[in-house]
Amino acid sequence: MSVVVSAGLSEAADPGRAAAEATSQALAGLGGAPCDLCVMFAGPPYLDDAESLLGIVRAGLAPGALIGCGAGGVAGGGREVEGGGGLAVWALSAPDAKIEARHLITRPADGAIALGGLPDDADDYGESMIVLAEPTGFSAEALLIHVNDVRPGMPVLGGLASAARPGTGAGCLFIDDEVVDNGAAVVSLSGIEVLPCVAQGARPVGPEMTVTEAEANVIAELASQPALERLKQVIGELDAEERELATEGLLLGIVIDENQPSYERGDFLVRPVVGVDPARGAVAIGDRVRVGQTVRLHVRDADSAGLDLAEALDARVEAVGSAGAAGSLLFTCNGRGANMFGRPDHDAGLVADAFGAPSAGFFCAGEIGPVGGRNFLHGFTATIAVFPSE
């Protein structure tokens, strides 16, 4: 199957002109091939008349399926436009693939969360998913838990919308020919390979430790010692630089897939320590944990985040082989960018350099991607959907 990807980026002040420019660039990059999927990311200045924006993109590309969202910042062509002033349009031609766009919703149901909009048969979910979710009313975690259970190993990538239409207070979503401010815009893909690339922007420090007592997200004991006491010991044994980083924000990495001889960067699901109980010596983290899991302290800074992404991209370049990548979609945290790295275009530039192929993306209010074969919602992370050429 011949896969073609193209992308366009505009910073024009006029929304109609921006949409026309980005669409024209994406159309030219397809070289006459049909657009089977369009993904668009629009900054706040363009969302006042989102329907017109969508109409221009659809008229130009005539996509078989379309999803998109409001974005606090966008990326394309190795560049990042932060502060909301950009519009990016990404186009995929994959004639042999099955591609379906859906509008999903979540709602409370008998003390749980019910999902609406998915096919009745999990086999119809596709082989991979791209998810753009409204952050205030849609439970991305509920969707990911469900997919992990019924379609184990199926990669889900994407992010939470980071810009709203004026007066709505909710993230703006595009789904085929509709503009909505609730749920999630989801595209299911089959018959086309999508390689996930996840960089959580942190590095492991100190020793590995086994959880010996825990309930839900609270760890009472690490290596048969009170968890808080053990973490203090580990921090005290770090070098001065690592100690300083640990005190700025304590992170714990949890091994998801224990079936390997050793654990390296990328094998851990990184979560913040969100609370401590000095009386019990317990610590609470931002995810559930169980007895027997292996954990390790992590630290995060610009150097760690850059190295983590570079190593993750190197692994994916090797995976796509000599044929290379047709293109990629980048979902990066709105806490990254120039604010973290001290210069513009960091993540988008690394992605462009790695694959030498068209790419587009946006700055998310939360990023979605797999770790250890299971899908999670992340923060301060860059997740990339890589589309091999063959």
β-pairing, 251-255 vs 268-277, is: antiparallel
Short-list 7, 87, 76, CA closest to 41: 87
Q: What is the pLDDT of residue 85?
A: 84
- 288 strand-pairing partners: none
Q: Mean per-residue pLDDT for 180-199?
A: 97
pLDDT (tens digit, 9 = 90+) per residue, 73-125?
A: 999 999 999 987 899 999 999 999 999 999 999 998 888 899 999 999 999 99
Instruction: Assess whether 179 and 207 both reside in one domain.
Output: no
- Given a cut of 90, whether residue 249 has pLDDT beyond it is no
List the domain range (segments joined by +) for residue 345: 4-199+305-388
User: Which of the four pLDDT bands, split at 50, 70 and 90, describes residue 338?
Assistant: very high
Q: What total of structural domains would you count in the chain? A: 2
Instruction: Assess whether 189 and 208 both reside in one domain.
Output: no
CA-based Rg of the chain, rounded to a whole angstrom?
A: 21
Short-list 58, 18, 67, 62, CA closest to 39: 67
Q: Mean per-residue pLDDT for 169-174?
A: 91
Single out the residue in 299, 328, 350 at which a domain terminates: 299
Instruction: Assess whether 9 and 104 both reside in one domain.
Output: yes
Instruction: Assess whether 22 and 94 both reside in one domain.
Output: yes
Determine the Cα–Cα distance for residues 387 and 100; give it in Å rounded to an integer. Answer: 17
Instruction: Assess whether 92 and 214 both reside in one domain.
Output: no
CB neighbour class for 111 (10 Å; exposed up to 12, middle 13-18, buried from 19) = exposed
- Cβ-Cβ contacts under 8 Å for 155 (sequence gap 6 or more): 128, 129, 194, 195, 196, 369, 370, 375, 385
Q: Which residue in the block uniquely carries the two structure tokens 């993109």?
A: 57
Instruction: Assess whether 219 and 178 both reside in one domain.
Output: no
Q: What is the pLDDT of residue 169?
A: 81
- Given a cut of 60, whether residue 45 has pLDDT beyond it is yes
User: Which of the four pLDDT bands, split at 50, 70 and 90, describes residue 261?
Assistant: confident
pLDDT (tens digit, 9 = 90+) per residue, 133-157?
A: 999 999 999 999 999 999 999 999 9
Instruction: Assess whether 190 and 321 both reside in one domain.
Output: yes
pLDDT (tens digit, 9 = 90+) per residue, 360-380?
A: 999 999 999 999 999 999 999
Instruction: Assess whether 61 and 181 both reside in one domain.
Output: yes
- Cβ-Cβ contacts under 8 Å for 28 (sequence gap 6 or more): 6
Short-list 292, 265, 302, 267, CA closest to 374: 267
Q: Mean per-residue pLDDT for 316-323?
A: 94
pLDDT (tens digit, 9 = 90+) per residue, 226-247?
A: 999 999 999 999 999 999 998 8
Q: What is the pLDDT of residue 1?
A: 56
Q: Looking only at Cα atoms, what is the longest distance across the chain?
A: 67
β-pairing, 359-364 vs 325-333, is: parallel
**Reduced to 3 states, what is the DSSP secondary structure of residue 326?**
strand
User: Which of the four pLDDT bands, split at 50, 70 and 90, describes residue 168?
Assistant: confident
Q: What is the pLDDT of residue 126?
A: 97
pLDDT (tens digit, 9 = 90+) per residue, 211-226?
A: 999 999 999 999 999 9
- 364 strand-pairing partners: 333
Q: Mean per-residue pLDDT for 42-48?
A: 95
Average pLDDT, the chain: 95
